[in-house]
Amino acid sequence: MNTSPTKHSTRNATLLIAAVLLAWSGFAFLNRADPTAFQRKKQPEHLSQTLHATAIDLPKGPPTVFIKNHPDTGAPITASCTTCHATRTPNRANTAKDLDAFHQGLKFNHANLSCYSCHNDQDYQTLKLADTKTIPFQEVMTLCAQCHNPQATAYKHGAHGGMNGHWDLSRGPRYKNSCITCHDPHAPQYPTLRPKFKPIDRFLDPPNQTHAKKKGTRHE
Ligand code: HEC
Ligand code: HEC
Ligand code: HEC
Ligand code: HEC
């Protein structure tokens, strides 16, 4: 049989292309199967923590109590917890309603928690976790997280709690609010907000000139 030379070279070329494709796909497959292939890529610079360090607005230390008129002297005082509690026997039965001497006005509406779910009756300058571990007030978010893990996790990756400050760090720092910047630990429900429309700016939007023009586009 006499096959023409052009037919031969076409078949050879096809075989060659097929071989190259096979080798390439095999190589690509092996490369994909390599589990370290991902990790070998360097983390992009813009995701690094040091470049985008974010401070959290946490309490500086244990809170103090301001009393407008002291029940005995009538004078205003600011006192730390231990000033009074070092000599008082903790009363586990107390609820916010009973606190009529020194913690008047403390609103409490946080499920059916007791004061000592969070406060430490051995040392009022600290907080207490459920496993009785003592933590400073600065670590209040650990306390919230033990009961509100979904929100704490969402907070960590940015879906709860938002971000404040500057995107461009040369203009100022960037920071996040802590759980208790937004939620009062004693009555944590976030207040309902009602959106309001922006008032018409009478200087930038003189009514005589723009009112007629805008009338058709305004939704009222
Ligand atoms: C000026 C004194 C004074 C200071 C300061 C003070 N307390 Fe109290 N506290 C009291 C008294 C008195 C009671 C008893 C209830 C009342 O107020 O009538 C009480 C009650 C409580 C209770 C309820 C349980 C119990 O033992 O009765 C808790 C919890 C508590 N205080 C926590 C704190 C914490 C936390 C601080 C600091 C941030 C603080 N207190 C600062 C005087 C004080
Ligand atoms: C869910 C945890 C939690 C519970 C429950 C709780 N507290 Fe607190 N409390 C805190 C935290 C956190 C702070 C610190 C707030 C801050 O630094 O702004 C605080 C602060 C205080 C203060 C200082 C003044 C103020 O209002 O910030 C007093 C007084 C106090 N608590 C008393 C009580 C009493 C009394 C009860 C029970 C009726 C109670 N707490 C229940 C977490 C709690
Ligand atoms: C010991 C467990 C416990 C701790 C600690 C605790 N919580 Fe709660 N919290 C609860 C429970 C229980 C509820 C009620 C949940 C429900 O109704 O579904 C609640 C409800 C809430 C709510 C919803 C309130 C509403 O009415 O919508 C917020 C917000 C909240 N907590 C924030 C906090 C913050 C902030 C802290 C830290 C200071 C904290 N919690 C610490 C147990 C806890
Ligand atoms: C920037 C303010 C902000 C910060 C910071 C914040 N929260 Fe909230 N949180 C909110 C708002 C607003 C809501 C109310 C959502 C709604 O009403 O639908 C809410 C709701 C909640 C609720 C009620 C359940 C829900 O998802 O509606 C819990 C529990 C809660 N937050 C816990 C936390 C904890 C724990 C932290 C800290 C890790 C935290 N929040 C930090 C603003 C904040």
Atom of ligand 2 nearest to the CA of 99: 35
Global pTM?
A: 0.80
Which regions in the chain score pLDDT beneath 70? Answer: 1-10, 13, 16, 18-53, 202-220
Residue 5 confidence (pLDDT): 52
Residue 20 confidence (pLDDT): 66
Whole domain around residue 101: which residue ranges?
62-182
How many domains, in total, are found in the chain? 1
Taking the C-alpha atoms of residue 107 and residue 4, their distance in angstroms, rounded to an integer, is 98
Q: Is residue 127 part of a domain?
A: yes
Residue 182 CA to ligand 4 centre (angstroms): 7
In the chain, the amino acid numbered 187 is: A
Residue 41 confidence (pLDDT): 47
Q: Is residue 138 part of a domain?
A: yes
Mutate to test the pocket of ligand 4, among 139, 146, 190, 193 (most ligand atoms within 8 A of CB): 190
Residue 86 three-state SS = coil
Q: Is residue 197 part of a domain?
A: no
Residue 22 confidence (pLDDT): 64
Q: Which ligand is nearest to the CA of 83?
A: 1
Query: Which conformational region is residue 74 in: left (phi greater than 0), alpha (psi within -120 to 50 degrees), or beta?
Result: left
Q: Which residues are CB-contacts of 6 (< 8 A; sequence separation ≥ 6)?
A: none
Taking the C-alpha atoms of residue 145 and residue 50, their distance in angstroms, rounded to an integer, is 25
Q: Is residue 11 part of a domain?
A: no
Residue 19 confidence (pLDDT): 67
Q: Which residues are CB-contacts of 108 (< 8 A; sequence separation ≥ 6)?
A: 95, 96, 186, 187
Residue 217 confidence (pLDDT): 47
Tell me which residue has its CA closest to atom 32 in ligand 2.
115
Residue 207 confidence (pLDDT): 59
Ligand 2 near 58 CB (within 6 A) = no
Q: Is residue 214 part of a domain?
A: no
